[in-house]
């Protein structure tokens, strides 16, 4: 009996010791994009862990579609991460469902110290708000523009990149020789928006609650790209799939003279082919000079277990120091005005050129997101673009048909 | 008698006790989700995660007239029937040859079976690389032969059949092995008797081998159809459902409806409808193929 008692006591003591040992071992789960796992952010996490003994950060990295699948499943079972990076559009979408933490109180307490929202580009703040409340903070702010192979253009007799659609077509046709393409279009629909915006097209009119992608301007823009592929033979049919890296790979291999891309492709091009001579040009102009804006925001799920610590880490990720370190090393553009004005950024050729596009970049779904039907309408536009590009169907007919369906959906 | 009944009861209790973990597992991980899915299918919006309104069977009636649903269902039928028929036909052909005295047949069987055990992620990466219209080895071969390059996965008219052929390539080894085992189980006397009666090899194949393989064919057809009707890895990894929705299988459509559009109620209804379709298809297969053959 005494032996049994001693065994029991020993077991209880061991359990108590184990529990005491783990009582302060707290963990913060962060979902991040695999392509953005920069050393600068690893350093931020290391400093956070050092400043908060007992806390570790589970830095889980995904491709965007996989992260969304996991996050939606997490929401369904109520077991969410503490901090999530998102590729644009998710903040308002999930906030509408009551799934995100309102950040007003945090911003009221810390906003002036961190410079939020005054130091952020205006549209990078509004895209993270819903009903006058803050639900996310922008960490990257990007835009896509023309990237070209200087050698291939020079070989074809061009010493400067095209600035208009006419010039672009001329250069694309002239550089399409020897198994190379003048332009490599992307299969992902958002990459067609620079063309649409440059021709004055709009996605959505909030006053009439109708889509604008069936306008003659939109049709003309998509027909222009389709004709480059099917009539001019100056561009290949994009390889189908959700992978946006195809054109970058062709460009890096020297098989495409021009692509439209953003800062996210800088590192793959530089590391994939260090000998490639390439440059960044301002976005093209047709009726106007324009391109689409993108970027990443950070948000805290409403069901997160460690909201205060998540905010603390968020603050560190979006600090000017972290922005400068991440951007200078990786060519990523950032939302802070003070970042854009920083001498190191202005001296950097790549950052400077991508950064210059931010002044005329536009958020594609800014207004339609607020209807809660952005994904459904976006899916219809994607189907329409596919029909035009892959099936070589007349752009106006296809867009009119899909716009009718989109307007019916919006009216419901 | 009383003792015998008690013994039987004990046996039954023991059997249920032994089955309990299995029943609990299936109840928790299979039947409970099916019930939840059916419940979610009765709502519009985001049941399980956010805002939802009870809609009764409205999601089901909407789905029946949804052009995208109809299209993805038809594509799935073509994919499932095409993949199953080709896998079984090629598997049977290979089994017929390799069940006989062929030199190095074990090695050949192993090579043909190998793709079956590889993850589809690797299969997809490999085939995407081989079929790449600009950097793929197959197109390089076409160029070397002076032929035009092909964008097999990027052209709407060829993408679905390319995906079917890749799936057949992956699965055919399994069908072949099962058929070989079944062929080797057919009594040799049947062939000897047929031979004495003057039957030709193709007659023996059609009159003996094929009918006696009916249970095996039923098994393979049912398993393959159930699997192909639910297929998502192939379009997700090879084409993303494109180009122009040419490879948008039903499961892919359900997945995107749920996780991209966040229309979880509607996606649940679509999913439940596919569950019923699979039940019906399986029932028809049993009715058509499950004919006992005895000689």
User: Which residues have a Cβ under 8 Å from the Cβ of B44 and sit 6 or more positions away?
Assistant: B52, B53, B54, B55, B58, B59, B265, B266
Q: Are strands A256-261 and A181-183 parallel, antiparallel or unpaired?
A: parallel
Contact B154 A237 (CB under 8 A): yes
pLDDT score of B2 more than 80: no
Q: What distance in Å separates the CA atoms of residue A19 and residue B16, rounded to the nearest whole number? A: 38
Q: How many CA atoms lie within 13 A of A282 on its CB side?
A: 11
The mean pLDDT value for A24-28 works out to 83
Contact A97 B243 (CB under 8 A): no
pLDDT per position as a tens digit, A63-91? 888 999 999 999 988 899 999 999 988 99
The listed CATH number (3.20.20.150, 3.40.1190.20, 1.10.3720.10, 3.40.50.1950) that belongs to domain B67-130+159-289: 1.10.3720.10
pLDDT score of B227 more than 90: yes
Alpha carbon of A278: minimum distance to chain B alpha carbons (Å): 20
Q: In this structure, what token pair is assigned to residue B159?
A: 């993408």
Tell me which chain B residue has its CA closest to the CA of residue A301. B49
Contact (CB, 8 A) for A237 and A388 = no
Q: What distance in Å separates the CA atoms of residue A380 and residue A395, rounded to the nearest whole number? A: 14
User: How would DSSP label each residue in A214-264?
Assistant: TSHHHHHHHHHHHHHHHTS--SPPPPPSS---HHHHHHHTT-EEEEEE-GG
Q: In chain A, what residues touch B262 (CB-CB under 8 Å)? A: 72, 93, 97, 375
The mean pLDDT value for B280-291 works out to 81
pLDDT at A21 (0 to 100) = 46
Tell whether B46 is within 8 A of chain A (Cβ).
yes
Contact (CB, 8 A) for B105 and B176 = no
Of the candidates A263, A230, A275, the one whose C-alpha atom is nearest the C-alpha of residue A393 is: A230
Q: What distance in Å separates the CA atoms of residue A106 and residue B116, rounded to the nearest whole number? A: 53
Tell whether B30 is within 8 A of chain A (Cβ).
no
Rounded to two decimals, what is the model's pTM?
0.81
Least CB-CB distance to B134: which of A69, A97, A255?
A255
pLDDT score of A219 more than 60: yes
How far, in Å, are B46, B114, B255, B286 from residue B263 at the CA level?
6, 39, 10, 35
Q: How many CA atoms lie within 13 A of B151 on its CB side?
A: 15
pLDDT-derived band of residue A22, with 50, 70 and 90 as boundaries? Answer: very low
Contact (CB, 8 A) for B231 and B80 = yes
């Amino acid at each position: 009996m005494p032996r049994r008692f001693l065994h029991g006591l020993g077991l209880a003591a061991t359990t108590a010791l184990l529990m005491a040992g783990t009582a302060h071992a707290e963990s913060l789960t962060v979902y991040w994009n695999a392509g953005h796992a920069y050393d600068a952010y690893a350093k931020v996490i290391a400093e956070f862990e050092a400043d908060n003994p007992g806390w570790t950060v589970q830095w889980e990295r995904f491709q965007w579609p996989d992260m969304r699948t996991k996050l939606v499943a997490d929401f369904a079972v109520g077991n969410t991460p503490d901090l999530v990076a998102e590729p644009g559009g998710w903040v308002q979408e999930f906030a509408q469902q009551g799934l995100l933490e309102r950040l007003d109180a945090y911003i009221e307490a810390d906003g002036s110290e961190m410079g939020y929202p005054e130091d952020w580009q205006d549209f990078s703040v509004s895209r993270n708000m819903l009903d006058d409340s803050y639900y996310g903070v922008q960490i990257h702010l990007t835009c896509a523009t023309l990237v070209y192979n200087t050698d291939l253009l020079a070989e074809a007799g061009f010493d400067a990149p095209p600035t208009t659609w006419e010039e672009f077509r001329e250069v694309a046709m002239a550089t399409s020789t020897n198994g190379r393409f003048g332009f490599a279009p992307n299969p992902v629909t958002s990459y067609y928006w620079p063309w649409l915006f440059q021709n004055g097209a709009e996605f959505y009119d909030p006053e009439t609650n109708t889509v604008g992608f069936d306008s003659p301007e939109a049709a003309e823009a998509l027909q222009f790209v389709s004709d480059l592929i099917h009539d001019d033979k100056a561009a290949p049919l994009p390889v189908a799939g959700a992978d946006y890296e195809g054109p970058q790979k062709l460009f890096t291999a020297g098989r495409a003279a021009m692509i439209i891309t953003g800062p996210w492709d800088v590192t793959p091009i530089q590391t994939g082919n260090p000998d490639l001579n390439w440059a960044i040009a301002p976005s093209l102009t047709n009726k106007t000079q324009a391109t689409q804006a993108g970027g990443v925001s950070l948000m805290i799920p409403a069901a997160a277990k460690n909201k205060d610590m998540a905010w603390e880490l968020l603050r560190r990720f979006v600090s000017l120091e972290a922005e400068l370190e991440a951007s200078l090393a990786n060519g990523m553009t950032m939302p802070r005005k003070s970042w854009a004005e920083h001498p190191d950024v202005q001296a950097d050729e790549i950052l400077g050129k991508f950064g210059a596009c931010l002044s005329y970049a536009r958020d594609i779904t800014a207004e339609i997101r607020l209807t809660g039907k952005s994904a459904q309408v976006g899916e219809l536009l994607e189907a329409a673009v596919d029909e035009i590009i892959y099936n070589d169907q007349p752009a106006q007919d296809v867009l009119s048909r899909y716009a009718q369906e989109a307007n019916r959906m919006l009216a419901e | 008698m009383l003792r015998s009944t008690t013994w039987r009861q004990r046996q039954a209790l023991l059997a249920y006790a032994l089955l309990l973990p299995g029943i609990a597992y299936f109840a928790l991980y299979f039947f409970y989700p099916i019930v939840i899915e059916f419940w979610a299918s009765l709502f519009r919006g985001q049941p399980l995660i956010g805002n939802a309104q009870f809609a009764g069977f409205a999601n089901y009636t909407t789905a029946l007239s949804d052009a995208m649903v109809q299209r993805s269902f038809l594509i799935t039928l073509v994919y499932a029937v095409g993949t199953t028929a080709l896998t079984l036909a090629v598997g049977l052909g290979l089994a017929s040859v390799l069940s006989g005295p062929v030199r190095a047949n074990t090695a050949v069987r192993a090579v043909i079976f190998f793709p079956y055990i590889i993850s589809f992620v690797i299969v997809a990466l490999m085939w995407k690389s081989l079929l790449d219209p600009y950097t793929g080895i197959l197109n390089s071969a076409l160029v070397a032969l002076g032929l035009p390059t092909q964008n097999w996965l990027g052209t709407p008219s060829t993408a679905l059949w390319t995906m079917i052929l890749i799936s057949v390539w992956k699965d055919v080894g399994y069908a072949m092995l099962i058929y070989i085992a079944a062929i080797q189980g057919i009594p040799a006397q049947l062939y000897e008797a047929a031979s004495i009666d003057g039957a030709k090899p193709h007659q023996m194949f059609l009159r003996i081998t094929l009918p006696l393989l009916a249970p095996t064919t039923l098994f393979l057809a049912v398993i393959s159809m159930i699997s192909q009707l639910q297929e998502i890895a192939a379009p997700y990894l090879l084409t993303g459902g494109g180009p122009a929705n040419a490879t948008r299988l039903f499961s892919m459509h359900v997945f995107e409806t749920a996780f991209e559009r966040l229309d979880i109620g509607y996606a649940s209804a679509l999913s439940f409808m596919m569950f019923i379709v699979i039940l019906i298809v399986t029932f028809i297969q049993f009715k058509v193929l499950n004919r006992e053959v005895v000689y």
